[in-house]
Structure 1
Amino acid sequence: MPSLDLSLSSPDLTRVICDIRSVSGEEKTLADAVFEQVSALDHLEVYRDGDTIVARTQLGRAQRVVIAGHIDTVPVNGNVPTRDIEVAGEAYIWGRGTVDMKAGVAVQLKLAAELTAPRVDVTWMWYDHEEVDADLNGLTRLARSRPGLFAGDFAILGEPSNGEVEGGCNGNLRAVVRTHGVRAHSARAWIGENAIHKAAPVLSRLAEYRPQDVAVEGLVYREGLNAVRIRGGVAGNVIPDLCEVEVNYRFAPSRDVGEAERHVREVFAGFEVEVVDIAAGARPGLDAPLAQEFLEAVGAEPRPKYGWTDVARFSALGVPAVNYGPGDPHLAHHDEERVPVAQIEAVEQGLRAWLTSS
């Protein structure tokens, strides 16, 4: 088992963690290494559920903060081991997981080891299976087995945010819009009904759809409704009797899941619509006193998070949560995934300043 040295600088720790393969479903080696290190720290109470590790201080502080990060990555594509590169005169660490989100995890591990007496009690969470189905997510499992571990006054998720603070997140809905026809030989098409042709109005409505920009607690979230997949056809000489258009709706956190589903059904009125996946968004929660102190300490101007992240899990539990981590989210999952060394250091400094300020 590889050994982690939590006395390394956060960039060096990023390199080590990224070079330990932990594609979703293969997190055990990294989880074992994390568990070994944090279990040796006397100031932390440590709990393990599968490949999810929780370590928390019990100092009796008046407030508690949860700081979380996932340890899995999407599949590797020739971008491990990591290497140091320079882009436009700036130093980067290149490789799978550098952005999403092992640089953030490295910062968290270093601070968890070094901050023995933070100004608030801290619950650190490093979890598995974030990049796959929500049912497999380590936080889903942990919420069932130990829901009390999620208790807190504020939460920070180390998702890549370019070192800025991104409040809340959009909700996410996937639905399948179906059209039906009658099969026939394509040489006698008039005998049947072409389900793919019947899908033309579905695509027209999507093309004509104008997404909204929605202001929520001072942040403007950009919505979107798009076709992401289309399925239909039986054979090269058969009129198809079924066509399915899969659509993805990203909705502002001011809408609940019921409103989001109703909206999609209204857009596709007259068609069969099946919602196959839906997750609520998270309101920014930046009006919480701890959130305001955090923004001031890190010197950040908050922005909205357009994608869905696990901050929504905390928001659903009444815990305001933000995204704050190094790395450009546009490079997450990209084959040229890379993180600026300076951003790793800045995020560490920002969290350290906030957690140690009086």
Structure 2
Amino acid sequence: MPDQPLDVPLLDLSAGSVDLTQAICDIESVSGNEKTLADAIELALASYPHLDVTRDGNTIVARTMQGRSRRVIVAGHIDTVPLNDNLPTRFETIDGRDYLWGRGTVDMKSGVAVQLKLAAELTAPAHDVTWMWYDNEEVASDINGLKLLAERRPDLFVGDFAILGEPTRGDIEGGCNGTLRVDITTTGLRAHSARSWVGDNAIHKAAPILDILAAYEPRSIEVDGLVYREGLNAVGISGGIAGNVIPDECTVQVNYRFAPSRSAAEAEAEVRELFAGFEVTLTDAADGARPGLDAPIAQEFLAAVGGRALPKYGWTDVARFSARGIPAVNFGPGDPLKAHADDERVALDEITGCEAALRSWLSGSSG
């Protein structure tokens, strides 16, 4: 193994996946601060001759080059949302079940730990594997490490199937909803609040926007056998100049989560129609991904893992693979409801269970 730089933590990839999860989580890597963890991952992988390791920024790629007929991409992000007194990690038992508590345990360093351990130990997998660990997933899309890697190294995005280690409780969640955000703005006329009749209150004029949102009934739409639940919600509102001034502008930020049966452009058109007569500005949009479970290799994975096939309601980077014609699913330990929570925690049996299932399929021992 190469000499360890003094400022790079040592990751022991021969450790159990639970211990490895704890070690990775205790290396703080809030988005924008992933370098130390990326350095540790790169150093840990350097001693495994069966892996061809590439680094792009703080994204690490490791590939097997066995000449197999099919290639699988397995990816996970190494950043987390900000801390809130939830590091270092600790073990705890709740209702007889053992957990690892702390930031990143669910989203998604337990999945990354499983992937790193298998990358080191599966020297001759049944399918060639491209392992990807990337930065800046939890922040703006334009700096997402997977997005940047695809732009700079499209040759690495060659595969027959992709698995993203997002938390799914060990089930398989196919595809993902699309997402878009718009700003809906009303305008008025400023005036002194003591003489409000002289002005035109922009915040009051936003009331119909909120009425539309409150009356909206989310749809459940079946796509390739999975039912995706949509949602349209206000996620922010701003307006007002001072406590004695009638506001001349108010903006309601709206987030639409839409089924992968429609494109982002179609979803935008629907939102504009719903809020016809208002000033609507698109601020962000991303297509969803169809389940991808109709591909033969995906069916093999589903049968081997033996979990349920469920829809992924949130947007994930499976959409980046789907857009390149690679069927992709989400599969990893952890309850998605605990992602980003202050009491974020992962059940230890989910970590070991996901490791066993993924190991069995990638090694070919599942049949």
Q: TM-score by structure 2 length?
A: 0.96
Q: Distance in 2 between matches of 1:107 and 1:143?
A: 23
Q: Secondary structure at the match of 1:195?
A: coil
Which residue identity is paired with 1:50? G
Which residue identity is paired with 2:361? W
Q: Distance in 1 between matches of 2:266 and 2:82?
A: 35
Q: Distance in 2 between matches of 1:104 and 1:78?
A: 22
Which residue identity is paired with 2:28? R
Q: Distance in 1 between matches of 2:229 and 2:36?
A: 39
Shift of 1:42: 0.5
Matched with 2:325 is: 318
Q: Secondary structure at the match of 1:204?
A: helix
Partner deviation per Cα, 1:207-266 (whole Å, 9 max, x = no partner): 111111000000000000000101111111111110100000000001101110001001
- Which among 36, 41, 45 is matched to residue 34 of structure 1? 41
Matched with 1:103 is: 110
Q: Distance in 2 between matches of 1:235 and 1:18?
A: 44
Q: Does 1:68 align with 2:61?
A: no
Q: Distance in 1 between matches of 2:150 and 2:293?
A: 24
Partner deviation per Cα, 1:109-138 (whole Å, 9 max, x = no partner): 000000011111100000011111111111
Q: Distance in 2 between matches of 1:267 and 1:250?
A: 15
- Which among 42, 45, 58 is matched to residue 51 of structure 1? 58
Q: Does 1:119 align with 2:131?
A: no
Q: Does 1:22 align with 2:29?
A: yes
Which residue identity is paired with 2:104? G
Which residue identity is paired with 2:109? K
Q: Distance in 1 between matches of 2:57 and 2:182?
A: 32
Partner deviation per Cα, 1:53-86 (whole Å, 9 max, x = no partner): 0000111111110000011111111111111100
Which residue identity is paired with 1:54? V
- Which among 247, 255, 279 is matched to residue 272 of structure 1? 279
Matched with 2:302 is: 295
- Which among 211, 215, 218 is matched to residue 222 of structure 2? 215
- Which among 208, 230, 241 is matched to residue 237 of structure 2? 230
Shift of 1:101: 0.5
Provide runs of 4+ in structure 1 moved above 6 Å.
none
Q: Distance in 2 between matches of 1:210 and 1:243?
A: 25
Q: TM-score by structure 1 length?
A: 0.99
Shift of 1:267: 0.8
Paired residues, what number?
358
Q: Does 1:342 align with 2:349?
A: yes
Which residue identity is paired with 1:279? A
Q: Does 1:178 align with 2:185?
A: yes
Partner deviation per Cα, 1:14-46 (whole Å, 9 max, x = no partner): 011111111111111111111011121110111
Where do residues 298-309 of structure 1 align in structure 2 (5 Å cutoff)? Answer: 298-309=305-316
- Which among 262, 272, 283 is matched to residue 290 of structure 2? 283
Q: Distance in 2 between matches of 1:200 and 1:82?
A: 45
Q: Does 1:134 align with 2:124?
A: no
Shift of 1:192: 1.3
Q: Secondary structure at the match of 1:249?
A: strand
Unaligned runs of 5+ in 1: none
Q: Distance in 1 between matches of 2:177 and 2:83?
A: 27
* Greater Cα shift, 317-326 or 70-79: 70-79
